[in-house]
Amino acid sequence: MISPIVKKTIIEEKQLDQNNYFQSYLKEARGRNLLSEAEIQHMQVQMAELLARQIERYTRFESSSVKIEVAEGIIRSILYGIDSYLINLCDTDECLKILKGTTLSQIYQKGLQLIKSQVKEAEIWLKKVQDNHLEIDNYAYKDTLNALPDFFIYYDTEFFAHHTPASIDYPLYLDKMDTVGINYMSSYLQKLFYENGFCNLFPKDSIKRLLEDYHEQHEELLINIFQLILINALGSVIIQRSAKRLDLNALDCEQIYILLADKNEIYLKTIVREASDQLIKELNITGFLENYIKMGSQEIAVRLKNALENNQMGTLFVLGDESKTIEMIYFEDREKMDDALFIKLSEEIRSCRELSDKLMLLKSEIYTLEDMLDILEADCFFGEEYEGLFKVLDEMEIAMLLKSLNITNHDDFNKGMGYLNWEKEWQKRLYDYLEQGDTVYLEHIVAIIEKIKFQ
């Protein structure tokens, strides 16, 4: 594979401190005589003038002095703005041209504009995160979600661009925390969006079970949900199961141990890398998320090595607790809706032009199984709309529908439509939806059906 051609610059990017770009650049340039002492001093004078002007603006021209901490903060903010502009240039050679030919004030103003654009872009990522957030009971996750908008209210691009005014507790899977301000927030939001997207590929009930198996007080813990899911999914792939299976038990871990216990670190890194590739392929993951998963695989391999060496697989994988007795679900339906109300509701649903409106009415007005079955048979939904309907029902609701059709286990379902002799459109559509869908999803539903007992 041919490596891309990279232009050789006088100062290489890796020699510069990304968090103190301008200052480290001056140091390197001075060391290589690319900038003279006079040019450096001239820049220092410009910096002092810029600082004076910013202090005047900060105090609204009402004070000629400020506390040293405030002055330091303002200058750090100025440097953040200058860094933003310089880092955004093509290469370090261009940096030199700009520094020789442009005033610091102009560079700072351009940097400030860049920061403001970054804030706008980050607001879009915030909206994406709010739209694809996980519905889980983890306090750190929920509190962080609630706190994220604060950043955009309190972030001061002009005087405190280097601050990150938001209470961010939820830990990401990969987060070096080596940046500040809008740079950090942009990165955090983007990663959180993709982590959420990955987690949303798995059934909610599976995630809930995984968290409960992890710790009974998982709500209170500072844990990264993405990592828990990823590691168990990789475990499933290693023992040649679907990546969507998050349930690993002691036997499964024993299997992994037997497979890998005597292998060296290089081999384990290969195994984890291949398992990651397999998972990525199975779940159709591309782009940022693909790279994100791959970036963490080395660290997972090291943890796997430690777990194998100590024969403590539970320190890496979340094991299901098979000692828990099977819970039975005793279901007693509530009183069905009054006939007049039902007729009114069914007419209202039928009159909706958009499926989303139909579903909103259904979710907000239907509370009993009997009413749900009646609505399904009241010609309120047609054709492809059924798929949309089944998608918004959770696993319990789907299980209830199947149970009402006397499906009690996998064999009943597998006998097929010919045997089941379901005639109603919703029944046929439900069968197709489940038969063509994810097998793991169907397995979960059947597992629920087996626990249900109608009273």
Q: Does 129 bind another protein (CB under 8 A)?
A: no
Q: Whose Cβ is closer to another protein: residue 50's or residue 256's?
A: 50
Residues 389-428 that bind another protein (CB under 8 A): none
Which range touches another protein (CB under 8 A), out of 67-75, 239-247, 301-309, 383-391? 67-75
Q: Whose Cβ is closer to another protein: residue 36's or residue 41's?
A: 41
Q: Whose Cβ is closer to another protein: residue 76's or residue 245's?
A: 76
Q: Does 280 bind another protein (CB under 8 A)?
A: no
Question: Residue 88: what are its φ and ψ, rounded to 5°?
Answer: -75, -10
Q: Does 66 bind another protein (CB under 8 A)?
A: yes
Record the tokens describing residue 227, joined without a space. 């990592």
| The binder of another protein chosen from 12, 13, 72, 135 (CB under 8 A) | 72
Q: Whose Cβ is closer to another protein: residue 26's or residue 366's?
A: 26
Give the N- to C-terminal CA distance of the chain in Å, as an integer.
Answer: 66
CA distances from 99 to 22, 39, 91, 133, 415 (A): 10, 9, 13, 43, 76
| The binder of another protein chosen from 62, 262, 411, 423 (CB under 8 A) | 62
| The binder of another protein chosen from 18, 41, 102, 306 (CB under 8 A) | 41
Cα dihedral angle (169, 174, 178, 183), rounded to 10 degrees?
Answer: -80
CA distance 113 to 332: 62
Smallest separation (angstroms) from another protein to the CB of 94 = 24
Handedness of CA 228, 234, 240, 242 (dihedral sign): positive
| The binder of another protein chosen from 31, 32, 45, 97 (CB under 8 A) | 45
Q: Does 79 bind another protein (CB under 8 A)?
A: yes
Q: Does 75 bind another protein (CB under 8 A)?
A: yes
| The binder of another protein chosen from 3, 65, 284, 325 (CB under 8 A) | 65
Q: Does 37 bind another protein (CB under 8 A)?
A: no
Q: Whose Cβ is closer to another protein: residue 62's or residue 216's?
A: 62
| The binder of another protein chosen from 11, 16, 25, 76 (CB under 8 A) | 76
Q: Does 312 bind another protein (CB under 8 A)?
A: no
Question: Residue 330: what are its φ and ψ, rounded to 5°?
Answer: -95, 115
Q: Give the number of residues in contact with another protein, rule: CB under 8 A.
A: 22
| The binder of another protein chosen from 9, 51, 147, 212 (CB under 8 A) | 51
Smallest separation (angstroms) from another protein to the CB of 43 = 10
Q: Does 44 bind another protein (CB under 8 A)?
A: yes
Q: Which of 185, 61, 57 is nearest to 120 (CA)?
A: 185
DSSP string, 70-138: HHHHHHHHHHHHHHHHHHTSS-HHHHHHHHHHS-HHHHHHHHHHHHHHHHHHHHHHHHHHHHS------
Smallest separation (angstroms) from another protein to the CB of 41 = 7
CA distance 245 to 275: 14
Name the strand (E) or helix (H) holding 174: none
Q: Does 180 bind another protein (CB under 8 A)?
A: no
Q: Does 38 bind another protein (CB under 8 A)?
A: no
For residue 368, give every residue at least 6 positions away whose Cβ sits within 8 Å of its Cβ, in sequence order, or none: 333, 334, 335, 336, 337
Q: Does 358 bind another protein (CB under 8 A)?
A: no
Question: Residue 426: what are its φ and ψ, rounded to 5°?
Answer: -65, -35
Buried b (16+ CB within 10 A) or exposed e, 134-154: beeebebbbebbeebeebbee
Cα dihedral angle (310, 313, 316, 319), rounded to 10 degrees?
Answer: -150
Q: Does 57 bind another protein (CB under 8 A)?
A: no
Q: Does 48 bind another protein (CB under 8 A)?
A: yes
CA distances from 257 to 170, 375, 444 (A): 32, 51, 27
Smallest separation (angstroms) from another protein to the CB of 17 = 13
Q: Whose Cβ is closer to another protein: residue 12's or residue 72's?
A: 72
CA distance 165 to 119: 13
Which range touches another protein (CB under 8 A), out of 42-50, 227-235, 236-244, 366-374? 42-50
181: left (phi over 0), alpha (psi -120 to 50) or beta: left
Which range touches another protein (CB under 8 A), out of 64-72, 110-118, 275-283, 432-440? 64-72
- Which residues make up the interface to another protein (CB under 8 A)? 41, 44-45, 47-48, 51-52, 55, 59, 62-69, 71-72, 75-76, 79
